Amino acid sequence: MTDLLDPLRSLKNGYWFKLICGASFQHLPAVRNLTLAYTLAGADCIDVACDPSVIAVAQEALQVAFALAPEAKALGFGEPGKSPFLMVSLNDGEDPHFRKAEFNSTECPHECSRPCEKICPAQAIVFNSIKDNFSGVFSEKCYGCGRCIPICPYDIIYTRTYVSTPGAIAPLVLSTGVDAVEIHTHVGRLTEFKRLWQAIEPHVDRLKVVAISCPDGEDLIDYLRALYELIAPSQKTIIWQTDGRPMSGDIGDGTTLAAVKLGQKVLAAKLPGYVQLAGGTNSYTVAKLKAMGMLKSPESNSTTQGSGHSQIAGVAYGSYARVLLSSIFDSLEAKEVMNVNEKATTVPVRLEEEPELLWQAVELAHSLVSQIKSQQERISPIRYL
């Protein structure tokens, strides 16, 4: 898994798949297991928080995937010799992807039905955790979706946002194994973007991809053009990530419409680079794109960047991709709790240590990856479910 041109081939040919672990998601066991499962399933890019510990566990998972590649190949998963890009996410200002929910559990009335715990897709909100007798928000699990805030009947949940510090970014961008960066920005923040870009620009020649994630807004296209003029001299492979409805893909089929609509808008602008959907993407996204003729067919594939201005280059999946494997991670956590009870240890159970769960997770991940990879000729995997 050493040919780093393979993800670029996927990008150019219109079947790029990116896993978004979460820009503020720092639960190391989950990041490791998600990276392992989706790498073995054939992902082109793994996007993680710009945090040394998170980067390290993702790199570790990539090494485990390398060792398991022959077995995965025999089962019909992934692509021989392929390694996904490792991407880190940065932000130039306040952004919902870079926040954490917080509340003081002692302020929760006993009679509260705890709707926050029920609605949290990351299972970050707990009361009287069996493992450590904790109540509140597990910060490392929270990825900032904000669904708990309006549902709290006592209005005691709030969020804390953090912004990438330009001076601290360069060492992480230079980390061994980091292939790409994604910068989250908003229309009207050109000054802030320039400040962040100036901090990483001396090092971007080491990167294979720079992605720009921006939600819709007035004068969006003019703003993206200004960003292109700034970054084009330093980076030739640019992805425009159209953030339709952030962190909502696991809610329902309607959320994908916002991502597709924004993708159409950016495609119509004919910006140099590749357009990739995100924000509300789920199991309905690829079918919608195919129905609208927005995916390249094998006959129309081209190796020229930005040549297909009516077709997207790929899709990124965040909350939906994570929730898809939640049952597997629940099983792992149950085994971890069992170990705590028997051995008084909190060492997480690693996915590869449970082969049956591992290949079930890869099968589930492959069910999502293969939707866009059906643009290629692929072998049908041996089913484990």
8 A C-beta contact, residue 326 and residue 361? no
Q: What are the residue boundaries of the structural domains of the chain, listed by start?
A: 5-93+177-322+359-373, 97-161
Residue type, 37: A
Confirm if 264 and 285 have CB atoms less than 8 A apart.
Answer: no
Residues in the chain: 385
Q: Distance between CA atoms of 191 and 196, rounded to whole angstroms?
A: 9
Q: How far apart are CA 324 and CA 358, in angstroms?
A: 14
CATH class name, domain 97-161 = alpha beta
Helix or strand holding residue 358 (H, E): helix 355-373
Beta strands in 154-280 (DSSP E): 158-161, 180-184, 209-214, 238-243, 274-278
Q: What pLDDT, on the 0 to 100 scale, is given for residue 91?
A: 93
Within the chain, what is the greatest distance between any pair of CA atoms?
A: 62
Task: Give the CATH fold of the 5-93+177-322+359-373 domain.
Answer: TIM Barrel (3.20.20)
Same CATH topology for 5-93+177-322+359-373 and 97-161? no
Give the pLDDT score at 78: 72
Per-residue pLDDT tens listing for the chain (385 residues): 444 468 999 999 999 999 999 999 999 999 999 999 999 999 999 999 999 899 999 999 999 999 999 999 899 887 766 799 999 999 999 989 999 999 999 999 999 999 999 999 989 999 987 666 789 999 899 999 999 999 999 999 999 988 877 777 777 776 777 999 999 999 999 999 999 999 889 888 889 999 999 999 999 999 999 999 999 998 889 999 999 998 888 888 889 999 999 999 999 999 999 999 999 999 999 999 999 999 987 555 444 444 456 899 999 999 999 999 999 999 998 887 666 555 555 577 899 999 999 999 999 999 999 999 986 644 445 554 4
Global pTM exceeds 0.85:
yes
Tell me what pLDDT residue 306 has: 44
pLDDT of residue 374: 83
Residue for token digits 């910068």? 183
